[in-house]
Every structure is written in C-alpha cells, then in structure tokens.
Structure 1
Amino acid sequence: MSPVAKDEDTEDTWSRFRDAVNMTAGELEKWLKTDESRSVGQKTDGGEATGHASGRRIVDLLHTKRADLGDDDLAHMRKVVGYVKRHLAQRPPGDVEDTPWRYSLMNWGHDPEKA
C-alpha cells in the first residue's frame, strides 16, 4: 500500500472508530471495573471475555496518536466498528438500560444510552 493510500485508510478507520466508540477512555476504564462489565461476553477457558479484553485495548487506542497507529491497531479498530454496527442492528425491544446487550456494547466502547 502506498504511503498516501495508507494515510487515507488510517484516516477512514480512525473516523469510523471514533463514530462507533462514543465513550471516553476514562468512562470505559471505569466501566470495565464493574461487575456488570465482567458479567457478559464469551469467555475462553473461564478467563476474560473477548469484549472485555477488547475494551482494554480500546482504552489504549484512545490514548494513541493517529500517527503512532500500527497495522494491528487499525485491524482492531475495524473489528470494533464491525462489532458495534452488527450489535446495534440486534437491539432488543423495550428498555435496554440494564441489559446484557447494552453491557456488551459498552465493553466495546459504545453506550447506546449516551446522547
């Protein structure tokens, strides 16, 4: 990929990531410490859920300058964008404030209740 194309891809990925992740690094860090955050998601071998681990990585990405993003960072950012988009399309009916659906999205940095 040419340097110009890589810069354009980085900008596009950064923009879509920032649209999908509507929580600040501080909000997400605080959320990830809650029992509700740890209560949802797929856990491998009884360990940390995939979304919870992703949330920790998102916090790091939110503290990273665009110029310092590597290919692995961009790949994870695209994964976050895809997850948030797919999960939002599966919104359950009714009040979602205290639901696993919302908690899972919040682990990925998106609070659907946030204006």
Structure 2
Amino acid sequence: MTDALELDALWDEFHSVVNMTSQELSAWLRVSEADEDTEPLPDQAGDPLGQHVLAILQKRRTDLTDADIQVMYQVVDTVAAQSDIENEPKADDESRRHQLMTLGHDPLRPG
C-alpha cells in the first residue's frame, strides 16, 4: 500500500503528465476506435488502459483503488520513458503521439 505522502506525489505527477481533460480523453478514445461505419459506445471506446485513465480522472483522490494506483504509476512511467526532450514525438510521428494520447498525454500540447 502507498503511504499518504507518496500518494500525494503520485496524484500530482499523474495529473501533471495527463494533460488532457477527461472530456478530451473520452472524445479521443471514441475517435481512435471509430471506423467508417461504426462508433463505439462512449463507455466502451478505447483500450482498457485508456478507459482506466479516464475513470481515474473522474475520481477524487480518496476514492482511488489499488488498481488505480498501479495504473497511475504505469502511466507516469510510460509517459516519462517516451517523452524526454530529445525523443518527444513530432507532429509527423502520429503513431507515437496517438499511443500517448490514449494515456491522456498529448505530447504536442504546450506546457
């Protein structure tokens, strides 16, 4: 279990890394899953990790589960590993950008 100080730091880091709002992430997950003929139901759009990130964004810190905490660590670690300044995705690196956006991180967003 994570202690209160560690959880506070993780909460802040997660919300710093996840720079898309829950509405933006929800819309992105729907768009990323849509094809010519169909669009998935909003609560079924996107991969499970993206859906879990979206669920966390809609929670209060006191409502986090152990699974939420693990996902938060995974997102922070993944974004950190793929987002150093020299390897930051460029506008033409759509695949990598889209992968990060599924986690709620748009690397082309300033700040």
- Equivalent in 5, 11, 18 of residue 21 of structure 1: 18
Whole-Å separation in 2 of the counterparts to 1:110 and 1:29: 12
1:30 counterpart = 2:27: yes
Structure 1 Cα separation of the partners of residues 59 and 21 of structure 2: 13
Q: CA deviation at 1:98?
A: 6.0
1:61-100 → structure 2 map (5 Å cutoff): 61-89=56-84, 90-92=87-89, 95-96=90-91, 99-100=94-95
Identity score, percent: 34
CA distance in 2, matches of 1:101, 1:28: 16
Gaps of 5+ in 1: 40-50
**Runs of 4+ residues over 6 Å off in structure 1:** none
Q: Which amino acid aligns with 1:84?
A: V
Query: Following TM superposition, by how much is the alpha carbon of 1:28 offset from its aligned partner in structure 2, in angstroms?
Result: 0.1
1:58 aligned onto 2:58: no
After superposition, the C-alpha distances for 1:44-101 in whole angstroms (9 at most, x for unaligned) are xxxxxxx832111111000111011122211110100001111113335xx4256101
Specify every segment of 5 or more residues in structure 2 that has no aligned partner in the other structure, as ranges: 35-45
Q: 1:83 to 1:38 in 2, by over 3 A?
A: farther
* Coordinate RMSD, CA, aligned: 2.1
Kindly indicate whether the alpha-carbon contact (under 8 Å) linking 2:88 and 2:107 is maintained by their aligned counterparts in 1.
no
2: CA distance between counterparts of 1:24 and 1:7?
Answer: 25
SS at match of 2:109: coil
Aligned length: 97
